[in-house]
Amino acid sequence: MKLMFSISLFLLLPYCTSQTSDVIIESTPASSIGGVIQTELEKTVTLVCTLQSGTHDDKELVWLRNGAAVDLKDGNKENRSSVCISPVIIEDEGATFTCHLKSNTSNKVFVTLNVTYHTDISGLEEVTVEDGESLVLQCHMRANPMVTLVTWKLNGSLVDLSTSSFIITSDGITSKLQINKVERSLHEGLYQCTATSSVYGERSKSFQLTVTEKTLKFPLMPMIAGLVVVGLTALLAIISRWRKIARCCK
């Protein structure tokens, strides 16, 4: 551990000293050459900006996060200023932290966070669908680095895409398994989506699909048509009957 630390410090030094800048940024964990800091969700990143020796009339430092000023307390501005990102969240992925002298914006140094995380899919979801209906199962695949493989299984075997009943689509963030017309004999069972990450390995979510009998929906339109016919017939009957009665009374 101590060895690793000294190596990373060694790697950090050329990056810092090669900057002909008013300020330098040191970080925990250390940044790689190019100023990228590797971190993960829930972790803590500490950044320290230090004024380099030299003649500076003004010693006040400024921190920017993606170009917006970071609110610094008094006593954390002169000569040395630190920023703590704790805990690291998904929105910190790719964020750039810049430090410069308040009086001279032409000399900036920056670091970028590379927040790695796996998709958060997990657990078992119960899904019930009626025979003949359509179905969409979804798994969110957002991850850094991006997942390298997504698979869908039914009862432990990869879903058979050669039969036209399964459609798998993905927009890079969500993977969807779609069935346009569910049939109990073909589709009922345990589904599982699995995302593979080169860094974090596999993660899965399961769906227990139950296909229920088709419920008899009340055929509303034919019924309305039927009622209209009955009503019209009755009306005609009354009219003709009334005519007959009227004729009699003449």
Q: How far is the CB of 7 from ligand NAG (least distance, A)?
A: 17
Output 185 or 247, the one with its CB closest to ligand NAG: 185
Q: Which is nearer to ligand NAG, 78 or 125 (CB)?
A: 78
Name the minimum Å distance from CB 171 to ligand NAG.
21
Enumerate the H helices of 86-219 as residue ranges.
Answer: 184-187
C-alpha distances (whole Å) from 59 to each of 32, 51, 84, 103 are 27, 7, 21, 8
User: Cα(186)–Cα(183) distance, rounded to whole angstroms?
Assistant: 6
Strands 124-130 and 201-212: parallel
In degrees and rounded to multiples of 5, residue 246 shows phi and psi of -60, -40
Which sign, positive or negative, has the C-alpha torsion 45, 46, 48, 49? positive
Minimal distance, residue 46 CB to ligand NAG, in Å: 19
Residues at the interface with ligand NAG (CB under 6 A): 22, 36, 38, 59, 78-79, 104, 106-107, 114, 116, 145, 154-155, 186, 188-189, 199
Residues 70 and 102: beta-carbon distance below 8 Å: no
**Nearest-approach distance from CB 40 to ligand NAG, in angstroms:** 10
> Whole-number minimum distance, CB 74 to ligand NAG, in Å?
10
Q: Is there a contact between 47 and 97 (Cβ–Cβ < 8 Å)?
A: yes
Considering beta carbons, is residue 157 or 221 the nearer one to ligand NAG?
A: 157
